[in-house]
Amino acid sequence: MKKALLITLLVLAFPALSYGLDVDAEIKTALLKVSPWNSTKVEVEEIEVPGIEKERFDAIEVRLPNAKAAGKVAFLTVLKRDGKETKTLWGSARIRVYRDALVALRAFKMKSKPSPDDVKLVSVEVRDAPDAVASIDELDGMVVKRPISAGSIIKRDYLKLETVVRKGDRVIVWVEGKSVRVKTAAIASEDGGKGAVITARALSGREISGVITAPGELRVEF
């Protein structure tokens, strides 16, 4: 009789049996599903739902209102049993969002050109480097506009397009259409780097606008 009474007391003391659910794992999975971030780059930590240990449930639904920034977030935990909602509890968790970023393997001086061998790709928290250069492709045509120390995350505002056309330069202009490609010459009206759109004055005096495709070359589409 005493043994039976003890078992009964234990059950009453811990009525929050979640029927085999791993509560933290269920909440984490649910948060990742409703969060606005790419779940492959997100970590969920420090999950807390005060009072959940007192409840009986067999399913969990999470609602994440106004989730715009990572960090400490509040969410609603809807507890269900036999398909019906039984209780709603507020919970909190820390969400860490990660992104790719390039780190300098050596120091860079102004006007130097970073190469793929000079950097490495790492994963960092977005809040630590929201404007970091995220791929080696982004280095194409760029030069350093301020000194960068070894080990630093390379941010986009540390770089600028290398000037490959200067105002007054004579440039080759390729005028391209669906079935025609015409070569002509012009004088650049402004400086620019590869991929930049600049204006130039044709020898006829007409002003044209084109994309810099290489040093001394523009492409104009019509």
Are 159 and 108 within 8 A, CB to CB?
no
Which structural domains are found in the chain, ordered by start?
12-97 (no CATH), 104-161 (3.90.1210), 163-221 (2.30.30.760)
Query: How far is residue 15 from each of residues 11, 159, 163, measured CA to CA in Å?
Result: 6, 60, 71
What single-letter DSSP state applies at residue 110? Answer: T
Radius of gyration of the chain (CA): 30
Question: 37-65: per-residue pLDDT in tens?
Answer: 765 688 888 989 888 888 888 888 888 87
Are 119 and 104 within 8 A, CB to CB?
yes
Question: 172-197: per-residue pLDDT in tens?
Answer: 999 988 888 899 999 999 999 988 99
Q: With 80 as the cut, is the pLDDT of residue 140 above it?
A: yes
| Global model pTM greater than 0.85 | no
Question: 115-133: per-residue pLDDT in tens?
Answer: 999 999 999 988 888 889 9
CA dist., res. 146 & res. 158, Å (int): 6
**Considering only 11-15, 145-149, 193-197, which range has the smallest mean pLDDT?**
11-15
CA dist., res. 32 & res. 44, Å (int): 8
Containing H/E element for 28?
A: helix 23-34
pLDDT > 90: percent of the chain? 42
Query: How far is residue 199 from each of residues 46, 179, 207, measured CA to CA in Å?
Result: 55, 24, 7
What single-letter DSSP state applies at residue 126? Answer: G
